[in-house]
Structure 1
Amino acid sequence: MRPRFDPVGTASRRAALRVLDAVLRRGQPIETGLARAGDGLAPADRGLAHAIAAEALRWLADLDTLIDRATRQRLPDDAKARFALRIALVQALRLGTPPHAAIATVLPLVDGGPRKLVHGVFGALMRGGAALPELPTLPAEVAVRWQQAHGAAMVEAARAAIAAPPPVDLTLADPAATDEWATRLSGISLMPGHVRLPAGADVPALPGFADGGWWVQDLAAGIPARLLGAGGGHVLDLCAAPGGKTMQLAAAGWDVTAVDISEQRLVRLRENLDRTRQSATLVAADVARWTPDTSADAVLIDAPCSATGIFRRHPDVLHRAHPRLIEETAALQTSILSRAADWVRPGGRIVYAVCSLEPVEGEGQLARFLGSRDDYAIEPITADELPAGIMPRDDGTLRTLPAMLGDQGRIDGFFIARLRRRP
């Protein structure tokens, strides 16, 4: 019997299957899964594997609805046949892959298994004119949770946000040059020090990348460091990597100590600092155990969280951030915030931020903290510190939601609070 040779392109589909398995069965981030599954692939194949997996995760509920309608007996969630059909369908229905190529490159993934089933279900769906809805359907438990927290309109906005590739946001080393950079890069500015480009921009090829004139950072992610204003003192940037906020603070004149638990991530941070010609002291440490030598004028806490606020760029979080994970990260945030509060000199400030849409990680953390520390109070965020179209809440905190800036590319979901320690 002659050996079977896989069609060209099968390797990237096999990697995509492994990435989906890593996310959906083992709860790993898509980048972690790809680092292992994509080992040895050419860059183009690795990129395709990522694109297939990410798009399948965006549309997972709707892909599964199509599959279930075409099968007499429901396939288990972790069945390889279901994974293969998801990959074939998302290629044909979202990525523009010809149906014959989409199915030919996934059938080897079920060798020794239900090839006829996969081929038959896919063929029936294609002949029947299968189509996905206009907007993706969020995982049911996510939709319920977000509707309870933020309302039905927010859920619809989240569906619209995840359906379209997000824009590319750049933070500028010199905010005074905003108009110049917006012109050079053919972008728009929503606030000083920021330029927004269309989705898919080839970042390394853009003017200013090699010279360190800017770095990629979502508009919402750039707000926390801006709230500390111009430097002149010592600031602790906790959980700092990959370093966007560290570079902002350094460019604003702060003496920055950047702390992160991952030495590998700090290597990337050092590279970013070198490229942008900024300086900071880097410390590899677990902030839940580490203690600084002296108090600081300010502390920026970009706390570890469920990351549900960045779902449009990282759709895997919708499938990984289950209630248990959210509870675990909330407990870690409580520990970090409690410890960091003692590292701020009297009169100094804390900016607490999470890229999460879960109230327990944002509003709940703030309420708990203020209930236990009468030496801290909210220092209200003002409208003139924020992008046009974004307003602080009545209590002086900020909650960004996917409905905001809907006509200008939207914004990631964050909770941000600025606190001042009483003198």
Structure 2
Amino acid sequence: MATPALDPARAAALALLAGVLSERMSLADQTAHPKGPFAECAPAERARAQRLATGVLRHLRTCDQMLGPHLRMPPYPAIHNILRLGAYELCALGEAPHGVVHAAVDLARAEDPQSRAPGLVNAVLRKVADLGPALWAAAPPAQLPKPFRKGLVKVWGNKTVIGFEAAHGAGAPLDLTLRDPSEAALWADRLGAVVLPTGGLRLSDAGQVSQLPGYAEGAWWVQDAAASLPARALGPVVGARVLDLCAAPGGKTLQLAAAGAQVTALDISDARVARLRENLARTGLAAEVVIADGLTYAAETPFDAILLDAPCSATGTIRRHPDLPFLRDLSDLSDLTALQAGLLDRAVGLLRPGGRLVFATCSLLPAEGEDQVAAALARHPGLAQVPLSDLAGSAAEWLTDTGALRLRPDFWAERGGLDGFFIAALAKPGYARFGHDSGSGTS
């Protein structure tokens, strides 16, 4: 029997699913690999493959619920993923059953032509096509993978985590930060976007980012609304020497440069720094770029302000990275929390007396947020936390008892959600008011 011609996007989507679920490789690593699933796909097929794979990952347990009544036991992983993909297309996307079932059978036949798998796929998906769409529409948000979910429930409780799961299933719109915030209304009109309370723009159906108005001229960059807040938490930075301590890919560096700061953008990764340089070139903004280890970096002159968006578990970004819950182990964060503490201590040492330090992580876990700041205050006598209660665009429910911001994926649900973030501002002894104390160079 001749090998069937496979739909390239579906085949690539299955390869992506196998990479995440069996090989524990992120979607980003797979799509960037020169010999990965996308190597022979046209751009449109790549985009479709990624949409299919991310959709299945967001709704994996719901896909399995659609399949479960029609399977005596789970098939082996490759066939299971073909069934999941078919269930997602039939139930979530409403694709025509004939085309979905035919394509899935071809994929199964290519996977194992001598087995009974093609017949199984055909029979199961025909049943799913009959019953699944109505069941899917009534199903609650798919639960996150059990180990990942358990770690979040321990902190937030089941009810809140259900809200996280709803945000995870819904995905994320496209948020933009403007080089010139005063042009928000202009660009909102040109892009068909809404202006957010934080001053950025939000698009619900953006399409290809590089083809949008304003991209080529660098009028904006992609940045979740939550991720735009840490740089703003530094306060006025005009003329200030500011260190962006873990800078790549550069969204916060661009914000600080656009706000008039003299920015030193530091990162340890050559590849990530290359993206930062590209973003600076596209937007026409300037920063000193340094490739170095933040734990050992030394500067001749202390900085007026430092932004430390530290490496973390990234648990707050599940709306944008549906593969992350399948890859991240929350049972032991000791290496990450030790790195965060070391970077915090180094940042304090690089900050001038009276300067402000903002510590942020895109994490939902107190060990990477509230606990880190409490420990840093204990280690550094005189260091003080500065409340962020007056940060424009923030909401009262985001504020913690200590004056930090704790953002969650279920916030702003009516607007399309937010990434989870923890943001705290700290000041060295001598602090009066950032941007106004003598010798700050920022007034």
Is TM-score (shorter-chain normalized) higher than 0.5? yes
Query: Which region of structure 1 is more displaced relative to structure 2, 27-36 or 284-293?
Result: 284-293
Residue 371 (structure 1) aligns with? 378
Q: Does 1:115 align with 2:118?
A: yes
Q: Does 1:68 align with 2:65?
A: no
Deviation of 1:255 (Å):
0.9
Residue 440 (structure 2) aligns with? none
TM-score w.r.t. structure 2 length?
0.88
Deviation of 1:390 (Å):
5.6
* Distance change in 2, residues 1:5/1:183 (3 Å): closer
Deviation of 1:186 (Å):
3.1
Corresponding letter in the other structure for 2:175: D
Query: Which region of structure 1 is more displaced relative to structure 2, 376-385 or 286-295?
Result: 286-295
- What percent of counterpart residues are identical? 39
Contact persistence 1:400–1:413 (CA under 8 A): yes
Q: Distance in 1 between matches of 2:206 and 2:151?
A: 31
Q: What is the 5 A alignment of 1:42-53?
A: 42-53=42-53
Among candidates 15, 18, 23, match of residue 21 of structure 1: 18
**C-alpha distance after superposition, 1:73-98 (max 9, x if no partner):** 2345xx22212211221122223332
Structure 2 unaligned runs (5+)? 431-443
Q: Distance in 2 between matches of 1:126 and 1:195?
A: 39
Residue 3 (structure 2) aligns with? 4
Q: Does 1:188 align with 2:218?
A: no
Deviation of 1:400 (Å):
0.5
Query: Which region of structure 1 is more displaced relative to structure 2, 150-159 or 220-229?
Result: 150-159
The alignment of Structure 1 onto Structure 2 pairs a total of residues equal to 418
Corresponding letter in the other structure for 2:101: I
Q: What is the 5 A alignment of 1:197-276?
A: 197-231=203-237, 232-276=239-283
SS of residue matched to 1:222: helix
Deviation of 1:201 (Å):
4.7
Query: Which region of structure 1 is more displaced relative to structure 2, 105-114 or 294-303?
Result: 105-114
Q: What is the 5 A alignment of 1:5-404?
A: 5-7=4-6, 9=7, 11-35=8-32, 36-75=36-75, 79-105=77-103, 106-112=107-113, 113=115, 114-129=117-132, 131-132=135-136, 133-191=139-197, 193-231=199-237, 232-324=239-331, 326-387=333-394, 391-404=398-411
Corresponding letter in the other structure for 2:46: R
Deviation of 1:324 (Å):
4.6
Structure 1 unaligned runs (5+)? none
Corresponding letter in the other structure for 2:5: D
Contact persistence 1:240–1:259 (CA under 8 A): yes
Among candidates 405, 416, 419, match of residue 409 of structure 1: 416
**C-alpha distance after superposition, 1:269-323 (max 9, x if no partner):** 1111111110011112232343334321111111111111111111111111112
**C-alpha distance after superposition, 1:107-156 (max 9, x if no partner):** 24522443333333223333444632242222233333323322333223
Corresponding letter in the other structure for 2:390: A
Q: Distance in 2 between matches of 1:129 and 1:152?
A: 27
Deviation of 1:383 (Å):
3.3
TM-score w.r.t. structure 1 length?
0.91
Contact persistence 1:19–1:33 (CA under 8 A): yes
SS of residue matched to 1:404: coil
Deviation of 1:25 (Å):
2.5
* Distance change in 2, residues 1:297/1:26 (3 Å): farther
Q: Distance in 1 between matches of 2:74 and 2:89?
A: 22
Query: Which region of structure 1 is more displaced relative to structure 2, 292-301 or 413-422?
Result: 292-301
Q: Distance in 1 between matches of 2:67 and 2:95?
A: 18
SS of residue matched to 2:94: coil
Q: Distance in 1 between matches of 2:84 and 2:324?
A: 18
Corresponding letter in the other structure for 2:111: V
SS of residue matched to 1:61: helix
Q: Distance in 1 between matches of 2:268 and 2:49?
A: 29
Please provide the CA RMSD for this pair.
2.2
Q: Distance in 2 between matches of 1:155 and 1:109?
A: 39
Corresponding letter in the other structure for 1:297: D
SS of residue matched to 2:227: coil
* Distance change in 2, residues 1:285/1:28 (3 Å): farther
* Distance change in 2, residues 1:73/1:153 (3 Å): closer
Q: Distance in 2 between matches of 1:121 and 1:185?
A: 43
* Distance change in 2, residues 1:404/1:129 (3 Å): closer
